[in-house]
Structure 1
Amino acid sequence: MDAPVETSLLDTGAQGIIGKPLDRIDGPLKVAGKAIYAAEQDANTLHGVLVGARIGKGRVAAINEAATLATPGVIRVFTDFETFARNPQQGGEEEAPTQGVREIAYVGQPLALVVAENLEAAREGAEALVIAYEEEAGAFEREAHAAECETPPDASTPAHSSQGDLDRAMADAAVTIDVTYTTPSQSNAPMEPHATIARWDGDNLILHTANQMLASCRKQMADALGIEETNVRLIAPYVGGGFGSKLGIAPEAVAAALAARELGRPIKAVMSRPQVFEATVRRSDTRQRIRLAAGHDGRLTAIGHETLASNLDGEDFFEPAGIATHFLYAGENRSITHDLVRLNLTLSGSMRCPGEAVGMLALECAMDELAEALGMDPIALRKANEPERDPEQDIPFSSRNLIACMDRGAKEFGWDRRDPTPGGRREGEWLIGLGMAAAARSNLMQRSAARVTLRRDGAVIVETDMTDIGTGSYTILAQIAGEMLGAPIGRVQVSLGDTDLPPAAGSGGSWGANSAGSAVYAACEAIRAKLAGAMGASPGDLTLKDGEAIAGNRHVRIADLIDGDLTEEGAIRPGKTDEAFTQAAFGAHFAEVAVNAVTGETRVRRMLGVFAAGRILNEKTARSQCLGGMTFGLGAALTEELVHDIRNGKCVNHDLAEYHVPANADVPQQEVIFIEERDHAANPMLTKGIGELGISGAGAAIANAIHNACGVRVRDYPLTLDKLLPGLPPV
């Protein structure tokens, strides 16, 4: 993608299915229980159960397998020592393979796999396994080790960046804000637990697994086993959520593959719910200091955003909480930093909308605090700091409609009826407040490929290893191909989730539709060029609809233009437009809450999200993604907190009974509005990612509404009633 696309073929299509709120074509299979997930692929398997460490720091002294092997039905116990002895890694490495280790870094770290004839025996054998430990002192609390923090290497966003003189601007400003917000660890908590069925066909490994990005996971698996990528096949036609926790290979997959190779039989390994919480990934806890300086007119002269996050020793990933702060508001003096504390807790990794999801919980509340200090309306403050160009890189935005989103949201939500005085509106015991926050999410595209076949009868086949994790990939790719090749949605067959198919970027980073969809677009564009040649017309003059090709005054059946099936592979990769433009999707969140003046209970009454995300490919699936994101934001604001015992690192709420994701009764009436937009620099479809935009700022809008309702500003998420009670006004 080296130059903006002025005219997209999706704008000139005649089939009329792009943008429409079509039902997901995989929906009937899922509601009927006919969509087959990883753990359901093959019933004729052995069963493996992982055994995790029960200490947070130390070493494995010994493993006594006697009681486990005496359990009826148990076949073998695989440990790191045994596996290493029989399967040395290529390259002469001296360390044990990654599925098990001698050194223990966190509670729940996988140490062994118990394999049995059935699940019950494997589970009983796992419980009977005796592991002796040499325990060491660990680091389990961020603030206790904050002085030992370090700066991680730069990733997709720089760990540290600055321009101007932040301290001088703070000293000289008419109004300043210097506040610290904290967010806890969170769990991705997908509905489907991590699961793998591994079987070997000679030297070839076939995995039925639950992964979001199959092409990269294939490479990870090959590296873990010391074999060639061509000997690994991953199959994942349906994935029951992931939210980042299934971006990479999880421990159960490596363990199942090694055990299956050793025993010569397929092995199924499914993580228990506590293991998903303990042994996959978590969103890092953060401490975020926000500094804002402004004149009396509200114009920002300085923005500072310092984040302290945590991760395991040796891991480079950091929660990029300041990623949107780089470009969201103007201000000539800027400092954005990220530092890491090394803790003996579950690996920190990507959880839906890494960075903005927690970063904007702090930034957008601090903007609300600045608005109050200035006596300005929060929307007016944001408008006063709308940058014409990226304030740090000095390059244009590919498209930016934040103001349009705020204006439309204010009108639809009734923002003009908001009482700016905290606690000014009351209904009996309930204090009522309105809040808003901006939304921003960087737009990304990744290298992807797809194969499209136009059959002689007008049917279309789309093939790519792109996954559908509940986001609507099957439907959206069918819409793109159908629109471009003149086929009704029912005539398009989409095959996904198999590494035997052309490699796509997979589901993650809100780049799925942008990337895989653009590859499908490119393949269809090549097919259209051949059809145009057969018609004796230019590709720009060709119209395809309902199995017919139309050019000039001629209508010709596609079957009469080609002798056989037409197949083309399309590909897309980032190019010069990535560097020439700042690409992001924008939006505005609005929330109304009621806070009980007696109990401190918060009830969210209604939420509205208004978003500008380029072309909307499917109004229904896009709206569903935004509703899900807004619900994530509600959870971050009010309920979600992964709690670790600071004495030993144990996760004390490692199940869905105690880790409180919002339930149906918690979620209010939610509305979503899309602003008409096309982004010509993003990709040939003129779309932007939307899966994570709905989270960005949603929780901050709720927190700001709580402050407007009762006058209490809590800067430690989640905003539970115990934190509100001390500051509530007299009844």
Structure 2
Amino acid sequence: MDKSVGKPLDRVDGRLKVTGGAKYAAEFPQEQLAHAVLVTSTIANGTITRMNTAAAEKAPGVLAVLSPEKPPKIGGDPSKKQSPVDRVVQLLQTKRVDYQHQPVAVVIADTLERATHAAALVKVQYKAGKTKANFKAEKTQAYKPTAILGKPPDHEQGKASDEKPEAEVDATYVTPYEHHNPMEPHATTAVWEGDRLTVYDATQGVFGTRARLAALLGIPLENVRVITKFVGGGFGGKGSVWSHTALAALAAKAVSRPVKLVLRRDQMFGPVGYRPETEQRVQLKARKDGKLLLIRHETTSSTSTFDEFAEPSSMQTRMLYASEQIITSHRLVRLTLGTPTFTRAPGESTGTFALESAMDELAYKLNLDPVELRLKNHADQDPESGHPWSSKSLKECYRVGAEKFGWAKRNPMPGSMKDGRTLIGWGMASATYPARQMKASAKATLLPDGTVQVVSGSQDLGTGTYTVMTQIAADALGLAPDKVRFDLGDTQMPETPVSGGSWTAASVGSAVKAVSLALRDKAIALAVGDTVSPLHGLDAKQVQVDGGALVAGGKRDSYAALLKRQKLPSLEAQASSGPGPDSGKYSMHSFGAQFAEVRVDPDLGEIRVSRWTGTFGGGTILNEKTARSQLMGGIIMGIGMALMEESVVDTRTGRFITHDLADYHVPVNPDVPDIDITFVPENDPYVNPIGVKGIGEIGITGAAAAIANAVYHATGKRIRALPLTLDKLLTA
């Protein structure tokens, strides 16, 4: 039978989603369900001096009000983390306020409307301290963090050249605060049964949530169950446990009823992270032929006063291009804002904007084509580690992308290409993201009817995990995809990592293949040892799987027949997979090339992206349709990053004043052109057992730079601060 991996199989969960059958965290019905609403701070720094909850407590339907006046009992230190992705949380244990929109009380009532009304009755008085929310003003206090993603924050490789450069770029690039705005806001439903807690949570990591809640609540790990069947978008923001999740559990404990807590849209702009502001200095020096003598990339980003998160924007610069010398650094500025967190392609998305914009500037100074400049500095091995690449098709991505886009027809002179009065600009940039694999486990069960159920406690963020895991299992077991049922999202299933870092397909997929092969081998062993089986006595290595049966030499023994003869209700296997011996021998990354066309109104400064070509090498493509969707989604987020997304802070109060979708603009259909995606064939025998590289985040890398470079080509104006709004263009 034909293999299903690689084919554009429709989502196996598609019908559930379009019919409303897919249940998200806030949609699991519970008897006597109560509703919780957060009361959040209106200052960025200070202390609560008085809190009056009397009116709220007397309001109709109110069951309880939690506040620092009588701190709810917890069992762990909210500042002590269980994993690197954890954040310091606020659980009403102190009257200290560290940022605007910090949870300062929780109101629980029998309906959402009553809880919302009562929350408005809570009166809080504060003694305010100094607000430090001006990134530029506080930069003089920048400090060096201890590590960036487990690596030194500063890195230097190679030696300074004595050659005098023919051309040099030394410029500063700025990216603003950005907020995750998934369709599904953060939400938690908490249910206690005695001393056991079940939490339905909008999370990217059920096992991390379980560990964090167990520690914070001071209960055994086995007493916490976390369920997440569907996530309505995460983008990194749901990768950590935030205050509201534990507060929902504390609220349910306080009222002895299930409690649902869903953040309002404006509350998504405070206590649940964001992409921090960055200021990045990039210095490039090159010979006349374009060969780089120096790459220097210095990143300064913001973090909170009580926790630490560093946007790793200089990291890809350590490996993307060859240069005589490469110097990178990271610094942090503490502000009275909430703690930032991972946002799709953290570091690489912001960092490639700076690096790839600088490369475009250098190309103009050298009078070289931007693609040619990148080819001249192609890194044949990883400059940072010195390791060979497990596979790398970046040159082919440039070639195919340029050909499909028609790059050879580009007149390089800024402002030279027009359609009537409209200015046309073409820009390009490189894309890259690490290809990682984490330890993951899975379980497979062969059922009497010959179908197979595979479970693994992962998460589907809308990326298609249900579907690609079904395809992997089906191929390994010789089954049609409709004969496999894959399930996930429950800590009672085999353990997997958080769905982040573009490693879910590689990690969980490798485990699913391993367990499917283990189940296949168990079935083969039963058949060749069964005196009644047509395959009896054969060498197990001769037996293949096809069409729901074991086959060899024209003989067949179906899974269903085998189990019936063996009088087995089922046949099970469990397996795990993790980084193999090649992980330390090779450098593993996905690569791509982004080509963008913009149309600019010369009078109004309006910028429209009118055409896009993206070419990517991502190893084995598990599902052509879902993979293309992921890359398109990343590029669309890149369009938003380039042209409109910006969270504006009132530096006097530390409050984000863009706090809903009326003010915080994201791309909609008219903002997005047809996006042409091409996968460059790539066989990687070292990256993991299924040969895949993560593609969930690479689509946004390089995208903002490609647009900024196209705007320069159209107008001759170099805008180095995102977003590229018309006011910046008109005043440049």
Range into which the TM-score falls when normalised by the shorter chain: over 0.9
**Partner in structure 1 of residue 688 of structure 2:** 683
Task: Give the direction of change, closer, same or farther, for the CA distance of 1:99–1:547 in structure 2 (3 Å limit).
Answer: same
SS at match of 2:450: coil
The 8 Å contact of residues 75 and 217 in structure 2, kept in 1 or not, is answered as no
Q: Out of 597, 608, 624, which is 2:602 matched to?
A: 597
Q: Say yes or no: does 1:17 pair with 2:11.
A: no
* Per-residue deviation, 1:87: 4.3
Q: Distance in 1 between matches of 2:538 and 2:46?
A: 72
SS at match of 2:431: strand
* Per-residue deviation, 1:277: 1.7
Q: What does residue range 550-699 of structure 1 map to in structure 2 within 5 Å? A: 550-562=551-563, 563=566, 564=568, 565-699=570-704
Q: Out of 278, 288, 293, which is 1:296 matched to?
A: 288
Task: Give the direction of change, closer, same or farther, for the CA distance of 1:277–1:547 in structure 2 (3 Å limit).
Answer: same
Q: Distance in 1 between matches of 2:345 and 2:305?
A: 23
**Partner in structure 1 of residue 155 of structure 2:** 161
The 8 Å contact of residues 76 and 215 in structure 2, kept in 1 or not, is answered as no
The 8 Å contact of residues 465 and 506 in structure 1, kept in 2 or not, is answered as no
The 8 Å contact of residues 15 and 544 in structure 1, kept in 2 or not, is answered as no
**Partner in structure 1 of residue 47 of structure 2:** 59
* Per-residue deviation, 1:427: 1.8
SS at match of 1:186: coil
SS at match of 2:468: helix
- Cα deviation 1:646-669 (Å, max 9, x = unaligned): 111111011111101111111111
* Per-residue deviation, 1:376: 0.4
* Per-residue deviation, 1:278: 1.5
The TM-score with structure 2 as length reference comes to 0.94
Larger displacement relative to structure 2 (547-556 or 42-51): 547-556
Q: Distance in 2 between matches of 1:541 and 1:174?
A: 65
**Partner in structure 1 of residue 533 of structure 2:** none
* Per-residue deviation, 1:92: 14
Q: Distance in 2 between matches of 1:557 and 1:378?
A: 58
* Per-residue deviation, 1:196: 0.8
Task: Give the direction of change, closer, same or farther, for the CA distance of 1:358–1:537 in structure 2 (3 Å limit).
Answer: farther
Q: What does residue range 191-210 of structure 1 map to in structure 2 within 5 Å? A: 191-210=183-202
Q: Distance in 1 between matches of 2:21 and 2:264?
A: 23
Q: Out of 356, 368, 384, which is 2:360 matched to?
A: 368
Task: Give the direction of change, closer, same or farther, for the CA distance of 1:189–1:28 in structure 2 (3 Å limit).
Answer: same
Q: Distance in 2 between matches of 1:248 and 1:112?
A: 21
* Per-residue deviation, 1:572: 1.3
Q: Out of 380, 399, 404, which is 2:372 matched to?
A: 380
* Per-residue deviation, 1:313: 2.1
- Cα deviation 1:613-659 (Å, max 9, x = unaligned): 00000000000000000001101100000111011111101111110
The 8 Å contact of residues 98 and 224 in structure 1, kept in 2 or not, is answered as no
**Partner in structure 2 of residue 423 of structure 1:** 415
**Partner in structure 2 of residue 246 of structure 1:** 238
Larger displacement relative to structure 2 (567-576 or 510-519): 567-576
Percent identity of the aligned residues? 42
SS at match of 2:316: coil
Task: Give the direction of change, closer, same or farther, for the CA distance of 1:646–1:91 in structure 2 (3 Å limit).
Answer: closer
Amino acid aligned to 1:558: Y
SS at match of 1:518: helix
Task: Give the direction of change, closer, same or farther, for the CA distance of 1:617–1:74 in structure 2 (3 Å limit).
Answer: same
**Partner in structure 2 of residue 36 of structure 1:** 23
- Cα deviation 1:451-507 (Å, max 9, x = unaligned): 111223220101111111100011011000011101111111111111111111132
Amino acid aligned to 1:23: D
* Per-residue deviation, 1:726: 2.5
Q: Out of 106, 115, 119, which is 2:112 matched to?
A: 119
Q: CA RMSD in A?
A: 1.7
* Per-residue deviation, 1:155: 3.4
Task: Give the direction of change, closer, same or farther, for the CA distance of 1:625–1:87 in structure 2 (3 Å limit).
Answer: closer
Amino acid aligned to 1:427: D
Task: Give the direction of change, closer, same or farther, for the CA distance of 1:313–1:537 in structure 2 (3 Å limit).
Answer: farther
The 8 Å contact of residues 291 and 377 in structure 2, kept in 1 or not, is answered as yes
Amino acid aligned to 2:466: Y
- Cα deviation 1:297-329 (Å, max 9, x = unaligned): 111111111000011124232000112111110
**Partner in structure 2 of residue 523 of structure 1:** 515
The 8 Å contact of residues 405 and 588 in structure 1, kept in 2 or not, is answered as yes
Q: What does residue range 58-137 of structure 1 map to in structure 2 within 5 Å? A: 58-84=46-72, 86-87=73-74, 89=76, 98-100=90-92, 101-137=94-130
**Partner in structure 2 of residue 488 of structure 1:** 480
Q: Distance in 2 between matches of 1:92 and 1:188?
A: 23
* Per-residue deviation, 1:172: 2.9
* Per-residue deviation, 1:287: 0.2
Q: Distance in 1 between matches of 2:308 and 2:538?
A: 54
Larger displacement relative to structure 2 (403-412 or 456-465): 456-465
* Per-residue deviation, 1:531: 3.0
Q: Out of 496, 500, 521, which is 2:492 matched to?
A: 500
- Cα deviation 1:210-234 (Å, max 9, x = unaligned): 1111111110111111111100001
Q: Distance in 2 between matches of 1:616 and 1:708?
A: 34
Larger displacement relative to structure 2 (610-619 or 269-278): 269-278
The 8 Å contact of residues 311 and 347 in structure 2, kept in 1 or not, is answered as yes
Q: Distance in 2 between matches of 1:59 and 1:92?
A: 18
Larger displacement relative to structure 2 (428-437 or 532-541): 532-541
**Partner in structure 2 of residue 184 of structure 1:** 176
* Per-residue deviation, 1:279: 1.3
* Per-residue deviation, 1:552: 3.4
Task: Give the direction of change, closer, same or farther, for the CA distance of 1:268–1:385 in structure 2 (3 Å limit).
Answer: same
Task: Give the direction of change, closer, same or farther, for the CA distance of 1:370–1:132 in structure 2 (3 Å limit).
Answer: same
**Partner in structure 2 of residue 9 of structure 1:** none
- Ranges in structure 2 where 5+ consecutive residues have no aligned partner: 81-87, 529-536
Q: Say yes or no: does 1:215 pair with 2:207.
A: yes
Amino acid aligned to 1:176: E
Amino acid aligned to 1:325: T
Q: What does residue range 265-414 of structure 1 map to in structure 2 within 5 Å? A: 265-414=257-406
The 8 Å contact of residues 78 and 91 in structure 2, kept in 1 or not, is answered as no
* Per-residue deviation, 1:372: 0.6
Amino acid aligned to 1:153: T
Runs of at least 4 residues off by over 6 Å: 90-93
